[in-house]
Copies of this chain bind each other. A is one copy, B any other.
Amino acid sequence: MRIRLFHLQNSRSQRIIWFLEELGLNYELTIKDHSGIDKDKNSPHQLSKFPTIEIIEQGKTSILAETSAILDYLSHLHPQLGPNSLLSQQLQNFYYWKNYSEATFIPDLVLKQIFHQIVKRTPFPVRFIPKFLKYGFDQGYLNQSLQRQMSMIDKHLEHHLWFAGDQFTTADILMWFPLLAFSPNYRQFKHIQRYLAQIENRPAFKNALIKGRWSASTFKAYWTTAW
């Protein structure tokens, strides 16, 4: 089986590189950056999504998108970071955090960017209008919801080394990206800070940042302005 990964720089697809590095799998990498995204330069998935992998097996090529789907499928074949050795409460933790990341946490992250982009793209003389709506939505719902979520995560990490428990799993790979994007605004949560530092010390994580051409400053600038 040959794997080719279509990766968008500084985006959530960084997690797939990290996963492949943790497992030591061979893969080809095609990197796009935000400036180069147009119809011809997108991923081969029907919705032009990143990350997307091409899997070439016995001369047949298939295409798979969605971060969680890629991790689930590759974990099915290479189960080292999956649920197999987990029991009862750890299994529940694993499934909860893994699904929470993409279904609840990241959609809130995306909402921050959507409102920010609407403000940014509105011509200056009437920009106060979406700004006012963003403010109302942040104050009335989003910020409060995020505060509760970050607090829940911090409480969990106070008593657990990794999200599932004492073992590093794909739940950690999935949670890292939204946590990194939210954490600069929630510096009071010490266990989250400890957790992120712990990830930064993993050799596979470091390699993945280099291979994915990760730019900490670009990432930070992109997420800080959305707050």
Give residues in A with beta carbon < 8 Å to B: 46-47, 49, 55, 57, 62, 64-69, 72-73, 76, 83, 88-89, 91-92, 95-96, 98-100, 102-104, 106-107, 110-111, 114, 118, 129-130, 133, 136-137, 145, 148-149, 152
Asked if B103 and A76 make an inter-chain contact with CB atoms under 8 angstroms apart, the answer reads no
Chain B minimum-CB-distance residue to A96: B69
Bound form: Cα–Cα A66–B100 in Å: 6
The residue from B73, B76, B118 contacting A133, defined by CB atoms under 8 A apart: B118
CB of A102 to closest CB in B, whole Å: 4
Contacts of A110 in B (CB 8 A): 107
Asked if A57 and B88 make an inter-chain contact with CB atoms under 8 angstroms apart, the answer reads yes
Given A57-B88, A114-B111, decide whether A73 and B95 contact each other with a Cβ distance below 8 A.
yes
Given A66-B99, A103-B67, A103-B68, decide whether A73 and B46 contact each other with a Cβ distance below 8 A.
no
Asked if A83 and B76 make an inter-chain contact with CB atoms under 8 angstroms apart, the answer reads yes
The residue from B55, B106, B114 contacting A103, defined by CB atoms under 8 A apart: B106
With contacts A72-B99, A73-B91, A133-B133 known, what are 4 further pairs, Cβ within 8 A?
A47-B152, A64-B95, A66-B96, A73-B95
Given A130-B133, A133-B130, A148-B47, decide whether A91 and B76 contact each other with a Cβ distance below 8 A.
yes
Asked if B47 and A62 make an inter-chain contact with CB atoms under 8 angstroms apart, the answer reads no
The residue from B47, B66, B72 contacting A149, defined by CB atoms under 8 A apart: B47
Asked if B72 and A95 make an inter-chain contact with CB atoms under 8 angstroms apart, the answer reads yes
Bound form: Cα–Cα A19–B168 in Å: 30
Contacts of A49 in B (CB 8 A): 104
Chain B minimum-CB-distance residue to A98: B69
Contacts of A95 in B (CB 8 A): 64, 66, 68-69, 72-73, 76
Instruction: List 29 contacting pairs A-B, 8 Å CB cutoff, sorted by A.
Output: A46-B152, A47-B104, A47-B145, A47-B148, A47-B152, A62-B89, A62-B92, A65-B96, A66-B96, A66-B99, A66-B100, A66-B103, A66-B104, A67-B103, A68-B99, A69-B98, A69-B99, A72-B95, A73-B91, A73-B95, A76-B83, A76-B95, A102-B102, A107-B107, A111-B114, A118-B133, A129-B133, A130-B133, A133-B133
